[in-house]
Amino acid sequence: MTDCLFCKIIAGRVPSKKVYEDDKTFAFEDINPQAPTHVLIIPRKHVVDIKEAKEEDAELIGYCHLVAAKIARQRGIENGYRTVYNVGPGAGQSVFHLHLHLLGGRKLAWPPG
Ligand code: AMP
Ligand code: ZN
């Protein structure tokens, strides 16, 4: 997708602070962090969001959580962190390339706002 911001980040055409990458995913610092750790984990494949995802994307959707766990371990925030897929504008989704938020490093309230 040539006009997708996150596809451009993966391609290196928009700068980002890379945290992790592998053959399936890319992770980078959120530009507007909501916690001391706020990393976005995205699939290299352009998937719009969970509700548009296909069954064939199921492994990828779950795999992003394993990448988040790895990053959380590296950062020593395993005591309490949150992984979030915002789905749709009503839930705050503003970029339509699937991305898992990893938030941690501070007390996280429940329920979220
Ligand atoms: P969402 O609101 O769930 O769609 O999340 C999109 C996230 O992308 C927000 O937390 C933004 O701060 C973040 N974001 C937008 N543009 C960039 C960028 N160029 N680099 C890093 N993060 C970004
Ligand atoms: Zn994309």
* Consecutive 10-residue averages of pLDDT for the chain (113 residues): 92 98 98 98 96 96 98 96 96 96 97 89
Residues 6+ apart with CB under 8 A from 5: 14, 95, 97
Ligand 1 nearest atom to the CA of residue 34, by list position: 10
Q: Measuring CA to CA, how many Å separate 3 from each of 45, 46, 86, 102? A: 14, 11, 21, 25
For residue 113, the model assigns a pLDDT of 80
- Residue 84 alpha carbon, nearest atom of ligand 1: 3
Q: Which are the catalytic amino acids? A: 99
CA-based nearest residue to 48, from 87, 15, 91 = 87
pLDDT score recorded for residue 110: 96
- Report the pLDDT value the prediction gives residue 15, as an integer from 0 to 100: 98
Residue nearest to atom 15 of ligand 1 (CA): 31
Q: How far is the CA of 36 from the centre of ligand 2 (A)?
A: 26
Length of the chain: 113
pLDDT in the model for residue 48: 95
Per-residue pLDDT, 2: 77
Ligand nearest to the Cα of 46, by number: 2
